[in-house]
Amino acid sequence: MSDISIRKTGRAGRITLTRPKALNAVTYEMCLAIEDALDAWRDDDEVALVIIDAEGDKAFSAGGDIQKLYETGRAGDFAYGQRFWADEYRLNAKIREYSKPYVAFMQGFTMGGGVGISCHGSHRIVCENSQVAMPECGIGLVPDVGGSLMLAQAPGRLGEYLGITTTRMGPADAIMGGFADSYAPQEMWPELIGKLEETGDTDAIEAAQQVPPDGALAAQQAQIDAHFGGETLADILTSLRNDDSEFAGRALKALSRGSPLAMACAVETTHRLRRPGTTIRDALELEYRFTYRAMEYGDFLEGIRAAVIDKDRSPKWQHDLDNPPSLAATKMLMPLGKDKLTFD
């Protein structure tokens, strides 16, 4: 497959995304190919660990390939997207639960679907130009691919903040937020990958890691916790609107761009998944309730139209922030019954 290179090199199972001109956007076929490789390598004694990286400097992966999702959804075919998300989520769980080390090298943009195939790994490495984000609310989706679990487990109220403002995290912030583990300058990566391939031992990662440049989130933690601690999106908006600080102004501007329905659901999913003992499967099952309904009842198709198809950046959302949706958000997260996500 020209979009992805899968092979064995030394002691490593190697996966490289090879769509740099498309910012290594993950297609349905790429997801299936990665899953097949992981299944084959699980019981392969020659493979001690898995390494995933990507060609190009701009992006490890800027997200999922949403063109076909849009085309099928506009044609009234919601089943394709439902099947795509179900299979993608199964892969995300498989990576999180994988029995061998799974090492991800995340340069440039790592967003959305790119997070799903990297940030669930056991060893997640960022560099000086890494930008990690969950931008889904901006296109009418909730943070998915298991990203909702990482948001729920982030310190304080970072999860709500990152999820609904779609803020990008540099290397230090990605480590603080729980989306990455180690920082190493990108120029060191070829040598590090070579050692991992040769030895099959992850000790080389610790030897190579350095202290990342300072991030922005640590200094903002108190403000984030104060404003994003409400029970609902409406509570968060009220708190921000009663503060004339620069931080509150920036946050409100960010929220003005997102789908109110998606943001209301993102706040709710973050709260639900913060309960002790929550697993990756719990998170993906909850996300799937939303994505299963996203084309027919949500803002997804309008979000893609505005951001990707017409590129007018003026989506006509179903709801507005002066009256944030509550009943509609509840309906989007209702159990799916016989259509519930399974991991078979």
Q: Which pairs with CB-CB distance under 8 Å and at least 24 residues apart come from 219-227?
A: 220/247, 221/155, 221/156, 221/158, 223/247, 223/248, 224/156, 224/157, 224/158, 224/161, 225/156, 225/157, 227/157, 227/251
User: How far is the C-alpha of 288 from the C-alpha of 81, rounded, in Å?
Assistant: 11
- Over the Cα atoms of the chain, what is R_g? 19
Q: Which of the residues are catalytic? A: 64, 113, 136, 144
Residue owning tokens 């937020």 = 177
Contacts of 275 (CB under 8 A, 6+ apart): none
Going by C-alpha positions, the residue among 116, 17, 104 that lies closest to residue 63 is 116
Round to whole Å and give the CA distance between 114 and 137. Answer: 16
